[in-house]
Structure 1
Amino acid sequence: MKLDLLLRNADIITMDERRPHATSLGIWQGRVVGLDEDLFGMDAVEVLDLHGATVTPGFIDAHCHTTWFGLGLAEVDVAAARGLDQLYALLEADMATGGAPDEEKTPDQQAGWLMATGFSQTQHGGQFPDIAVLDRITGNRPLFIRHNSGHMAVVNTAALRLAGAESPSFPDPDGGVIVRDATGRPTGLVQETAQQLIQQLILPYTLDGIEAALDRGTRYYASEGITSFTEAGIGGGWIGHSPVELAAYQRAMANGRLHARAQLMPVLDALHPLDGHGADPAGAAGLDLGMYSGFGNDFLSLGPAKVFLDGSLLGETAAVSEAYCSHGHTDNSGNTGYFQADPEALRNRIEAAYAAGWSIAAHAIGDRAVDLALDIITECAEKYAPRTVPNRIEHASITRPEQVARIAAAEIAVTPQASFFADGGDGMTASLGQERLGWAYRAASFLAAGVTVAGSSDRPVADGNVLRGMQAFVDRRTSTGNVFGNPDERLTPLQALAAYTTGAAAATGTSHLKGALTPGKLADFAVLSGSPLAVDDISGLKVLATSVGGTFTHLTPGLQLTDGRPKVLQHVPSDAAGIAP
């Protein structure tokens, strides 16, 4: 057999306990076929000499928002602004220039909207933009500024007027708040489901617009070693971009514009009642033709159904059992957050999806929401049996000690984002207080209890760079240098790497395909400038190359390795193949 690709002279971290390290790896038809001695005497169409660079399994981001991220790459980015004057200046500059060229604008921009992304009050001393200033800058042009949590947005009066929500007497929607000042006038901040009042004026995005966003976003992923991701919410609600969002993914895949493998979570709002035979589960809800979790192929598939149970910690809308310690931007004395809908209604809708075959991914940040997620998922599993694609609790940010044991017993996977620590850790510390801070964003205690921990970013809510995410799992440092939460929750470098490889593969139900570099698994890998297991700062490493199924989605020759010696990734002529690696 002639290999398609042979990697040699590499430091290969396989994530396989039976053979943790290797120096050569062979690939044929998109799969790993052997390591080291397995390859002796084999020819290869292409040989890549890595000069001692490190190879790891491709990184898996188990919870991100790729369409949102890709759209944001074409919008006004205010993430780097420090102080509201800088934010206002960015908006003024876009108003003055008209923004990007028309051919690069997203459909909402072409329709006249000023779209901005990356805002967080934590970068502005806890302050939110003044709607009077926004109105002065934008005039009658509607404005929508995405908060990086995704759980709130800032808009101007023109946008509120278009939505019919400008009046002080306009009622708050179920599960959301139009924040108002003491006189009842909207401040421009819309929380949770109230965002939909504005978003419904923008949605749906076109298939072409979403496909272009996926192209931009996943090219970026490739540069960071990401080979697979889970899109945490498509098709409806305030997180989806179109009722036919899956079609945009299919088009992107067919047109070579999807540069990483994608697992898609349809939001619960996208599911609807299904009629089948009388013997089928009554009241089941799903997608047309009865598709459910696991449908698809190695490159594009359906994951669990996504349901939002509560809000966010930074916005103090997550459902917690004890009141927040700080009051944020409003007087939230006694505030314990809230559920996105009536708990019994959520229970009924989730059970209808589970009965149709769907796994459940429940967004539950506060411990009160985690209780609800545990109750509903365990009841569904007992009634309808476990699922091949694991049930999950997204974020599981605040978990009491007894909840950890329940999560493990129910075999529910969790996705706690270490990427939140740097920018949001100090703010969350102020909101939670010291007594329950040890419950926040667990990692080591989850693993010790036998819980599957999946590495993820929630990008663009937080930094999506995996190497920085791994370092954050290891040191848990906030922007001020403090250790966030319980120091005992820090992971070892190997555990941090496992979160983004074997752990994420297990949580997405794909351990048989990916997460480790063993014969028969997909040839998804990242080439790094050094070993994350042997450096003091994992975030300082560089991604030299990324491969999906043996095809390079990213290749950057000429970068230095960690020993400081300039080395180039070299393609060896095919006539040099066939020698022992």
Structure 2
Amino acid sequence: MKLDLLLQNADIVTMDPDRPTAESMGIWQGRIVGFDGDLAGLEATQVLDLGGTTITPGFIDAHCHTTWFGLGLAELDVSGARALAELYDLLRGAVSGGVEAGREQWLFATGFNQAHLDGAFPDIDELDRITGNRPFFMRHTSGHMAVVNTAALRLAGAESPSFPDPDGGEIVRDAAGRPTGVVQETAQELIQQLILPYSLEDIEAALERATKYYASEGITSFTEAGVGGGWIGHSPAELAAYQRAASNGRLHARAQVMPVLDILHGLNGHAADSPAAAPIGLDLGIATGFGGDFLSLGPAKVFMDGSLLGETAAVSHEFCSHGHKDNTGNKGYFQADPDQLRERIEAAYAAGWSIAAHAIGDRAIDLALDIITDCQATYGPRRIPNRIEHASMTRPGQLPRLAGAGIAVTPQSSFFRDLGDAMTESLGPERLDWAYRASSFLEAGVALAGSSDRPVADGNVLRGMQAFVDRMTESGVVFGNPAERLTPRQAVAAYTSGAAAATGALADKGTLTPGKLADFTVLSGSPLQAPDISELRVLATAVGGRFTYQSTDFQTGPSTESLVAARISASHSS
């Protein structure tokens, strides 16, 4: 055998308990052949001396919004504004020519967060003065609300105070019944349907922008948490854009894609094909797991409730009143009638789909647990695990139920720094121990997947790992229960082996093990020993043994494209 690539003189952190460390790694046809003494006498086409730098398994972001993020990279970013005056100045600059006009002359902005503006939302009259008759759509950083101007509301026919709110959403109005410009949850679709669908070329370009960015941060795999419809999708043909990007070399990380439950429909197959009365799915009967190791379909994504930041999550105790907001009686709400959610989820499960239930509040987690466990009991388990996305407010009694059902969770440590203080204010001290658990999930035996929810929050994996370790908020306090902090090894596992397990891919990735895919990240130091993981640098990223990113600091020893005889020292053979 002639190896394609041999990496030498490295600190290899395999995350494989059977062989936790190594110094050399051999790769052939995109997979790992072995380590150290396994490679004795083998030749390689390319040999790289890594000079003692650290190799880890490639990072996996198990819940992000890649198309949204990629589109946002080409839109006006307002995330840095710390006062309404700064926000208005950014918008004036965009209108006067600082940002190119969007599709059909729309003005798009991304990254708005009222928590950075002392809780203030833009005044719709001021927005109208700045934007005039040009429709404006500014997505909230949570994705669960947006800010629009009167021109956009008028185009949607939703300007009138008498216009009804859609199920699972709200057009926020002032005391006189006039829209304020804030549209929450499903009400966003009223505006988005004027913009959608994006072209396949626009989405493909967004995927290229986004995944190049991912590669620079060590990400080799990700799960796209919702495509094809609803307020989170960008085109009914969104998967085709993924296929085009992969075929054209514009997708720089492996992708697992979740279709939203809304786009699944009746298949009208033979009555004997499914025990469900009316199974739903995608055409030709494709379901979770369809595809290959570079692009595949994941679970069906379903929204059970809203968000903590927007105080629309379905919780068992009302949100705390704070500032000028009276939350008396506010326990959030479900995105649809619970019986309808159960019916739709069961029909999808019966047709072969795993389920990824967006459930933020503990009341929503109860509903998701009940439905998923009933489905598993009736139709059997799934090879690709069922999941609860975010699992933000988890009561102690829910932990053994999650573990017993084999349901994976994706809590985002990336929320702690930027959003932790605001969430603390909404939740109050009595329930903070339930918020964004980590250590207690692992202790209970629940599969914990590292993820970012990007662009809702910071997607940098090294910062995400450090956040799991210290749980620090922007104000310098520990978010939630300090006992929920992870060790560095547990934090690394969340973004490697844990995320691989939660996405049903641990047999192929998540650890550096002979036979697995050669997806790896080269770091300036070991995340297991660094005083601050976030200060490490990503030097290189490889998918299937091919580099998707190399920094200017990535220095290696001699290499050649011609055949090189690589002899591993006898000391490695022992």
Q: Given the alignment of the two structures, is residue 437 of structure 1 paired with residue 432 of structure 2, yes or no?
A: yes
Task: Letter of the 1:293 partner, please give it.
Answer: T
Question: Contact 1:142–1:157 (CA<8 Å) still a contact in 2?
Answer: yes
Task: Report SS of the residue matched to 2:419.
Answer: helix
2:563 maps to 1:570: no
Cα deviations by residue, 1:27-63 (Å, 9 ceiling, x for unpaired): 0000000101011121111111110000000000000
Note the C-alpha offset of 1:577.
3.8
**Match runs of 1:36-185 below 5 Å:** 36-97=36-97, 99-100=99-100, 109-185=102-178
**Deviation of residue 326 (structure 1)?**
2.5
CA gap 1:165/1:571 in 2 versus in 1, 3 angstroms: farther
Q: 1:570 to 1:557 in 2, by over 3 A?
A: farther
Alpha-carbon distance in structure 2 between the residues aligned to 1:539 and 1:300: 29
State the Cα distance separating 1:332 from its structure 2 match: 3.1
Tell me, what secondary structure is at the counterpart of 1:579?
coil
SS at match of 2:244: helix
SS of 2:232 mapped into structure 1:
coil
After TM superposition, which residue ranges in structure 1, 4 or more long, deviate above 4 angstroms? 327-330
Question: Following the alignment from structure 2 to structure 1, what is the Cα–Cα distance between the partners of residues 553 and 204?
Answer: 32
Deviation at 1:556, TM superposition (A): 1.4
Aligned to 2:572: none
Q: Counterparts of 1:263-274 in structure 2 under 5 Å?
A: 263-274=256-267
Q: Does 1:420 align with 2:415?
A: yes
Letter paired with 1:572: S
Q: Which residue of the partner structure matches residue 188 of structure 1?
A: 181
Counterpart secondary structure, 2:397: helix
**Secondary structure in 1 matching 2:317:** coil
Q: Retained in 2: the 8 A contact 1:143–1:155?
A: yes
1:411 aligns with 2:406: yes
For residue 286 of structure 2, the aligned residue among 276, 291, 297 is 291
CA contact under 8 A between 1:453 and 1:504: conserved in structure 2? yes
Q: Which residue of 1 aligns with 2:451?
A: 456
Matched, 1:214 2:207: yes
**Cα distance in 2 between the residues matched to 1:431 and 1:204:** 35
* C-alpha spacing 1:252/1:479, structure 2 compared with 1 (3 Å): same
Whichever residue aligns with residue 255 of structure 1, its letter is: N
Instruction: State the 1:209 CA deviation.
Output: 0.3
Of the structure 1 ranges 274-283 and 211-220, higher mean CA displacement relative to structure 2 is found in 274-283
Q: Does 1:391 align with 2:386?
A: yes
Q: Distance in 2 between matches of 1:32 and 1:329?
A: 58
2:536 to 538, 541, 547: 541
Which letter does structure 2 place at the counterpart of 1:239? I
Contact 2:45 2:564 in 1 (8 A): no
Write the mapping of 1:503-522 to structure 2, written as runs, cut at 5 A: 503-522=498-517
**In 2: Cα distance, 1:329 partner to 1:174 partner:** 26
Moved more, 353-362 or 329-338: 329-338
CA contact (8 A) 2:198 2:234 kept: yes
Secondary structure of residue in 2 paired with 1:61:
strand
1:446 matches 2:441: yes
Give the distance between the partners of 1:67 and 1:329, measured in 2 at CA: 35
**1:338 matched residue in structure 2:** 333
What secondary structure is seen at the aligned counterpart in 2 of 1:438?
helix
How much does 1:575 deviate? Answer: 5.9
**2-side partners of 1:328 and 1:64: how far apart?**
31
8 Å CA contact 1:237, 1:269 repeated in 2: yes
Hey, what's the Cα distance between the residues in 2 that align with 1:575 and 1:218? 32
> Could you say which residue in structure 1 is the equivalent of 2:488?
493
1: distance between equivalents of 2:283 and 2:508? 27
Distance 1:329 1:321 in 2: 22
> Does the C-alpha gap of structure 1 residues 328 and 296 become closer, same or farther in structure 2, counting only changes over 3 Å?
farther
Go from structure 1 to structure 2 and tell me whether the alpha carbon gap of 1:296 and 1:401 turns closer, same or farther (over 3 Å shift): same
Q: Which residue identity is paired with 1:578? A: A
Q: Name the CA distance, whole Å, in 1 between partners of 2:452 and 2:324.
A: 26
Q: Give the conservation status (yes or no) of the 8 Å contact 1:327–1:333.
A: no
Which residue type is aligned with residue 379 of structure 1? D
Aligned length: 566
Letter in 2 for 1:396: A
Q: Work out the CA distance in 2 between the residues paired with 1:418 and 1:330.
A: 26
Q: Give yes or no for the alignment of 1:526 onto 2:513.
A: no
Q: Distance in 2 between matches of 1:325 and 1:278?
A: 50
The answer for the alignment partner of 2:474 in structure 1 is: 479
Alpha-carbon separation, structure 2, partners of 1:139 and 1:198: 17
List per-residue Cα deviations over 1:245-270 (Å, max 9, x = no partner).
00000000000000000000000011
Preserved contact between residue 416 and residue 455 of structure 1 (Cα < 8 Å): yes
Aligned residue in 2 for 1:562: none
Structure 2 CA distance for aligned equivalents of residues 341 and 505 of structure 1: 31
Distance of aligned partners of 1:142 and 1:250 in 2 relative to their CA distance in 1, 3 Å threshold: same
CA contact (8 A) 1:396 1:416 kept: yes
Tell me the SS of whatever aligns to 1:393: strand
Shift of 1:579: 2.4
Is 569-578 or 62-71 further displaced after alignment?
A: 569-578
The residue type equivalent to 1:580 in the other structure is: I
Compared with structure 1, are the counterparts of its residues 328 and 344 closer, same or farther at alpha carbon in structure 2 (3 Å cutoff)? farther
When the two chains are superposed, the root-mean-square deviation of aligned CA atoms in Å is: 1.1
Alpha-carbon distance in 1 for matches of 2:186, 2:365: 20
Q: Report if the CA contact (8 A) 2:539-2:551 is conserved.
A: yes
State the secondary structure of the residue aligned to 2:96: helix
- CA shift, 1:480, in A, is 0.6
Q: Is the 8 A contact 1:47 1:577 kept in 2?
A: no
- Aligned with 1:26: secondary structure? strand
CA distance in structure 2 between the aligned counterparts of 1:386 and 1:317, rounded to whole angstroms = 31
Q: Secondary structure at the match of 1:315?
A: coil
SS at match of 2:464: helix
Structure 1 unaligned residues grouped into runs of 5+: 560-567
Once residues 535 and 43 of structure 1 are traced to their aligned partners in structure 2, the CA distance between those partners, rounded to angstroms, is: 34
User: After the TM superposition, which residues 329-368 of structure 1 pair with which residues of structure 2 at under 5 Å, given as runs?
Assistant: 330-368=325-363
Partner of residue 204, structure 1 = 197
Contact between 2:46 and 2:564, CA under 8 Å: does it hold in 1?
Answer: no
In the alignment, the residues of structure 2 paired with residue 347 and residue 218 of structure 1 have an alpha-carbon distance, to the nearest angstrom, of 35
User: Structure 2: which amino acid aligns with 1:140?
Assistant: N
1:486-508 deviations in whole A, cap 9, x for unaligned? 00000000000000000000000
